[in-house]
Amino acid sequence: MLKGKVAIVTGGTRGIGLAIVKAFLAEGASVALFGSREETVNKALEAIKAKTPDASVMGLWPNLGNYAEIEKAVQEVKAHFGKIDILANNAGVSARESIYDYDPAAFDKVVNLNVNSVFYCAKAVAPIMREQGGGSIVNTSSMVSLYGQPSGCSYPASKFAVNGLTKSLARELGKDNIRVNAVLPGVTRTDMVAALPKEMVDRIASTIPLGRVGEPEEVANAFVFLASDKASYITGAILSVDGATQV
Ligand code: NAD
């Protein structure tokens, strides 16, 4: 579905991001994964190469809170692969603090990664996509962007903002044939969820109509579809991949 396409995946070293990288590669894309540290990027690249030695993949570790670093990394990807067709804005951190104990600097940190990096990466790739005649941006939001959550208010606030960026950039960039969509994972089996108490995860799973939490690969499949030409008339969509979770 992605033969000949070039993609950037942020937060591509583990969890949902790594699943997106693997799915994009399996569908024929070349992929640049962005991680936070050189060691984790190299570890992810080694794991991919061990299973698929011919994979067309590279890795970089720009500070996603810094526009200049992102722009430089995006230009490096373009120089390496010749173009950029797909951006998966996936890197993100969650939060659980109560507002009573919440250090404002910690709030800013969540917003800086979850919101600003989405804007920075989109800003850096948009001119390249426009020049090429189009592209697809897919943002990782969350089911909490529909419901909020009872603590860690920065996290749902940041994901509401991701939906807002998705809807707005879809309207702004449609004329340049750049589609912008968001995927809203429900509870998905990654490190982010492994950090939660098991009883909490089991309790949540028992309330999900499909009776279980999601797998990263199931979220990645939605990215493949939205990134592909099969979704050529879909933009501004907010697609839940959550087993119909109702909070
Ligand atoms: P994860 O913690 O396993 O992975 C997060 C990724 O983001 C990692 O690759 C990490 O390197 C990257 N990252 C974190 N901080 C970074 C920083 N400062 N700079 C650069 N990269 C950084 O989490 P995950 O569950 O795979 O989450 C991926 C995305 O999915 C996030 O945006 C998250 O909000 C969203 N999400 C996850 C779930 C879930 O249940 N797992 C549910 C809804 C949404």
The verdict on whether 147 is a catalytic residue reads: no
Burial group, residue 229, by CB count within 10 angstroms (0-12, 13-18, 19+): exposed
Q: Is the CB of 190 under 6 A from ligand 1?
A: yes
- Distances from the Cα of 171 to the Cα of 115, 125, 225, 231, angstroms: 18, 16, 20, 16
Contacts of 49 (CB under 8 A, 6+ apart): 55, 57
Q: Does ligand 1 come within 6 angstroms of the Cβ of 219?
A: no
Residue whose pair of structure tokens reads 């990215």 in the numeric block: 223
Predicted local confidence at residue 200, as pLDDT = 85
Q: How many helices (H) and strands (E) does the chain have?
A: 10, 7
The enclosing H or E element of 162 equals helix 154-173
Other beta carbons within 10 angstroms of residue 1's beta carbon come to 16
Please give the Cα distance from 236 to 102 (Å, whole number): 33
The ligand 1 atom at the shortest distance from the C-alpha of residue 144 is: 43
Which residue's C-alpha comes closest to atom 6 of ligand 1? 11
Q: Whose CA is nearest to atom 3 of ligand 1?
A: 15
| Closest by CA position to 126, among listed 81, 183, 66, 179 | 179
Alpha-carbon gap, residue 32 to 19, rounded angstroms: 13
For the stretch 128-165, pLDDT in tens is: 999 999 999 999 999 999 999 999 999 999 999 999 99
Pocket lining: 117 vs ligand 1, CB cutoff 6 Å: no
| Mean of pLDDT values over 102-126 | 98
Question: Would you place residue 194 in the very low, low, confident or very high pLDDT band (cuts 50, 70, 90)?
Answer: confident
Cα of 27 vs centre of ligand 1, distance in Å, is: 22
Of 148, 176, 151, the C-alpha closest to 163 is: 148
Which residues contact residue 34 at a Cβ distance below 8 angstroms, ignoring those fewer than 6 apart? Answer: 8, 9, 10, 11, 12, 41, 59, 60, 61, 62, 64, 73, 91
User: For residue 171, is pLDDT > 90?
Assistant: yes
Q: What is the CA radius of gyration of the chain?
A: 17
Check whether 246 has a pLDDT greater than 90: no
pLDDT one-digit tens code per residue, 58-89: 999 999 999 999 999 999 999 999 999 999 99
pTM, two decimal places:
0.97
